[in-house]
Chain A
Amino acid sequence: MASSSKTEQKKMLILKSSEEEEFEIEESIAVQSGTIKNMVEDDFTLIPLPNVDTETLIKIIKYMKKHGEKTKSNEKDIEEFDKEFVKKSFTELKELVLAANYLHITSLIDLLCQAFADRIKNKSVKAIREIFGIPNDFTPEEEAEVYEQHKWAHEEGKEHIDHSAY
C-alpha cells in the first residue's frame, strides 16, 4: 500500500469516566459532542467526564463511533443500529439521556427522547406512574382540580388505552 507523502495523523482524545477509566477516541468522532468540542477548542486532549460512569461512557462512545462513519450508503445500517441501541432498560436509558444531555449530543438526545416517548405513548396514567416510578404528591383536592381542568384528556375515547407497564 503506497503511502502518500503527507501522512495524516488522526488526532486522538482521551475521555475519562467518573470512575477514572480512560478511553481513547478520534477527535473527529468525539466532537459530535458539543461539550467535548468546546473543550477541544480550549486545547484539552484529556477530557474528564465526572458526570458519566464507565458503563454509560462505553455505550456513548459506541454510538458516536457508529454515527461518526455515516455515509450515504449506510443509512439503513445506522437506522438498525439505533433501533437496537434503545432496546435497554429504563435505568440504562435514563443514564444515557442524562449523559447525552450533559455531553450535548443532539442526535442521541433526540433518539433517546423518542424511545421514552414510544414507551409511554398511549399508556394510562397508572402505567406511566409505574414505569417512571413517579409518586403522586397531589392532595385529593388538587388531584380533582387537575382532573377537571383537563377532563377531556382523561375521558377514554374510542381508542384502546394500554394499562400495561411494559
Chain B
Amino acid sequence: MDRDYQGRVILGLLALGGIDFLRKRLLSKEEEKASTNVHEAKVDYASQLQVDEAKVDYASQLQVHEAKMDYASQLPDDVLSSILSRMTIKDVVKTSILSTRWRYLFASMPTLRFSLDMFGVKYLGPICPPYDQKKFLEVVNQFLQLYLGRKVVELEMHMFIERHLFSRKFAQLMHSISKLDVERLHLNFTCEKTPTSQDIDLPHDAFFEFSLELLSQASSLKSLFLSVCIVRPSVGLRLNSLKTLSLTGVLLETGQLEDILFSCLNLNQLVIKYCKLPHKLCISGTVTSVIFADCGGLEEIDLQATKLSGFECFFDEKVRFYFSSVPVLERIKISLRGDASMPYIFGEFPMSLPAQVKSLIVTACYTQVTHFPTETQIFRDLRMLALLLESTYDFDIVKVFPILDACPVLQYLDILQHKTYRQNGRGSHTKPPLSPTIHTELKEVRFGGFHGTKEETELAIYILRSATVLDQMFLSQYSINPYFKAYYGHDIWEERERERISIQQQLFEQAISSNAVVIVQ
C-alpha cells in the first residue's frame, strides 16, 4: 500500500516543480527515508502513468496528489500538540498509531483530562462499579508513565474510587502526578464531569478519603480542586506553593479545615461549595478571599484571617458571625436561607461587623423579603450597599425604605429586583406616602428591574426626597452590572415612551438635591 502511495506523492511533487521543490520540503527523518524511494518511484513512473492516464485526466490527478500529501509533516510539533490538546484523551492516544512521528507526540500535552469518557462509558450518576475503577486507574497510571520527566500544567480526573479497594493504586497515581510539576489539579471523585449539590447526600462510605500527604511532593501546585471526598490533613505537611483551594461537595469534620489552612501558608483564595460543614468553623491563615456557596451544617463562624479582604457566603440557615481579627475586611456578600435571615442581617449582624467594612451585598429570595424588618440596626460605616432581591412575588418594595436610616454614611445604593411576574400596582392599599428622612451622604442610586409600578415609584420618590446630595438615580428595567448578566424580554418602554418620560420627569421633580440626575431606562 505504502510504496504506491509514496510513488504517487513523488509523482505529484515532481509535476509541481521538480526535485528541488521536493528537497526543500523534506524536513524530518521520515521524509529522508521517503527520498530514497524517489528512485524506485521513477522506475515505476512510466508504467504508472500509462495506467493512470487511461483512467483519469491529468489535471484532476494533480488535485488528488495534492490531497494525498502528508500535511501534518509540515506542521511543527507545537502546532500538532495544540491540536491534540483540544481532543479527548481517547482520540489523542489513538493518534499514536498513525506514524513513528506521531507515536509519542501525544505525550506532550500541557493539559490532561481523564474520565470514563475515555472508554466510551457513561453512567447515570456519580458511582460506577469496581471493574471500571480498576481499569481507569491502570490506564491512567500507564499513560502517565509516558509523561515521566515532562511537565503537565493542568490535570483533571473524574472518577469514583472505592477507598477499601483502591487506596494503594490511587496512591501510586498521585505519586506519578506529583512528579509532573502540575500547577492546577482537579480531583473529582465521581463519574460525572461536574459535581452537583446532591452529591453531598451520598452515603458516608461513598466518600473517598483523600490524604493531603499524597501531595507533599507536588511543589509546583498552585490550584487544587477537590470534589466529593473527605480531605484528611496531615500534621507537618506544608503546601507552600498553593494559592487557591476549592472544595466542592466535601464532608468537612470539626477541625479539618483549620488544619488544612495551617498547612497552606501562602493560600490566597478559599472556595467551599456544596459542602457539609461542622457546627463551628474558624478561618485563619493567609487567605485574602473566602467564598462559601450553598453549604449547610454551620452554626458559628469566626473570621481571624488577618489578610482577609473579601468574604462571600451563602448558607442554609442563620449563622452567627464573629469577626475576631479581620483588620482589612472590606467587602462582604451574604445570603442566608430562612425567614429569620432578613431580621438577622438587619438586626444582630451589623452589631458585630467591623468598622472598616465598606461594602455589603445582601441577597434574599422568595419569602425572605416579606420579613424585612421595620426598624434596623445601624451600619455605622457602610459606604456601599446592594440589595439583590430574587423572585420577590408580590413583595412591596417600599418596605426596604428603612435601609436609608440604617446606613447613615451610605454613598452607593443598588437595589436589584428580579421578579417572577410583573405586578401592576396590585394590592396597593391607599397608604399615606412615606415622609422622607434626611440622608446627607447618598450620592448614587441604581435600581435594577424597575418597571415603573406604583410601589417602585414610591420608593424612588422617598429616596429622592431624602438624599440631600444625590448626584444620580438610575432606574433600569434591566439587571445592573455586575450582578446578573442575563436579561430576557423585550423593552418594556417600547410603546410607552411617553410614560417613561413622564415617570422620569415626575421623579426628577421630587429630587431634593439640586444636582440630581434621574434616568429611567
Show the binding face of A for B, using Cβ within 8 Å: 90-91, 94, 97-98, 101, 109-110, 113-114, 116-118, 120-123, 125, 128-129, 132-138, 142-143, 146-147, 149-150, 152-154, 156-159
Contact = CB atoms under 8 A, between A and B. Distances in A.
B117 to A, nearest CB: 9
Given A91-B71, A150-B93, A157-B119, A135 B79 contact: no
Interface residues of B, number: 47
Contact of A158 (B69, B82, B91, B121): B121
A113 B102 contact: no
A133 B99 contact: no
Interface centre among A94, A101, A149, A150, by most B CB within 10 Å?
A150
A53 to B, nearest CB: 14
B102 to A, nearest CB: 7
20 contacts: A94-B75, A98-B79, A113-B86, A116-B83, A117-B84, A117-B87, A120-B83, A120-B91, A121-B88, A128-B94, A128-B95, A135-B99, A137-B30, A138-B97, A138-B99, A142-B100, A153-B90, A154-B97, A158-B121, A158-B122
A65 B117 CA distance: 40
A159 B120 contact: yes
- 10 shortest A-B CB distances, which residue pairs? A157-B120, A117-B86, A153-B93, A113-B82, A159-B120, A132-B72, A116-B83, A113-B83, A133-B70, A150-B93
Contacts of B68: 133
B79 A128 contact: no
A80 to B, nearest CB: 21
Nearest to B120: A157
Given A116-B83, A138-B99, A132 B94 contact: no
Interface of B: 1-2, 5-6, 9, 30, 33-34, 66-76, 78-79, 82-84, 86-91, 93-100, 102-103, 118-122, 135, 139
A129 B102 CA distance: 11
Contacts of B5: 135
Contacts of A116: 83
Nearest to B5: A135
Contact of A101 (B9, B79, B118): B79
Nearest to B106: A150
Contacts of B90: 153, 157
Interface centre among B70, B82, B135, by most A CB within 10 Å?
B82
Nearest to B136: A152
Contact of A134 (B33, B99, B135): B99
Q: Is the interface of B mostly helix, strand, loop or mixed?
A: helix
Contacts of B122: 158
A125 B98 CA distance: 7
A86 to B, nearest CB: 13
Nearest to B139: A152
Interface centre among B88, B91, B121, by most A CB within 10 Å?
B91
Q: Is the interface of A mostly helix, strand, loop or mixed?
A: helix
Contacts of A157: 90, 119-121
A132 B99 CA distance: 12
A101 B76 contact: yes
A134 B72 contact: yes
A137 B33 contact: yes
A153 to B, nearest CB: 4
Contact of B82 (A110, A118, A122, A132): A110
A136 B229 CA distance: 45
A134 B82 contact: no
B477 to A, nearest CB: 19
Given A120-B87, A135-B2, A125 B118 contact: no
Contact of A152 (B82, B98, B102, B119): B119
A97 to B, nearest CB: 6
A109 B82 contact: yes
A66 B72 CA distance: 28
B86 A138 contact: no
Given A125-B98, A135-B2, A152-B135, A97 B75 contact: yes
Contacts of B102: 134
B91 A122 contact: yes
A64 B113 CA distance: 32
A113 B87 contact: no
Contacts of B119: 152, 157
Contacts of B34: 135
B96 A146 contact: yes
A154 B83 CA distance: 20
Contacts of B120: 156-159
B76 A146 contact: no
A122 B89 CA distance: 11
Interface centre among B71, B82, B121, by most A CB within 10 Å?
B71
Contacts of A118: 86
Contacts of B97: 125, 138, 143, 146-147, 150, 154
B45 to A, nearest CB: 19
Given A135-B70, A137-B33, A153 B83 contact: no
Contact of A97 (B69, B79, B88, B103): B79
Contact of A94 (B71, B118, B135): B71
B111 to A, nearest CB: 13
Contacts of A113: 79, 82-83, 86
Contacts of B75: 94, 97-98
Nearest to B65: A133
Nearest to A102: B76
Contacts of B83: 113, 116-117, 120
A74 B71 CA distance: 34
A110 B78 CA distance: 12
A138 B100 contact: yes
B145 to A, nearest CB: 10
B70 A134 contact: yes
A125 B95 CA distance: 7
Nearest to A131: B71
Given A133-B9, A153-B93, 11 more contacts: A97-B75, A101-B78, A109-B79, A128-B95, A132-B70, A134-B70, A137-B99, A138-B97, A157-B119, A157-B120, A158-B122
Contact of A91 (B66, B79, B87, B89): B66
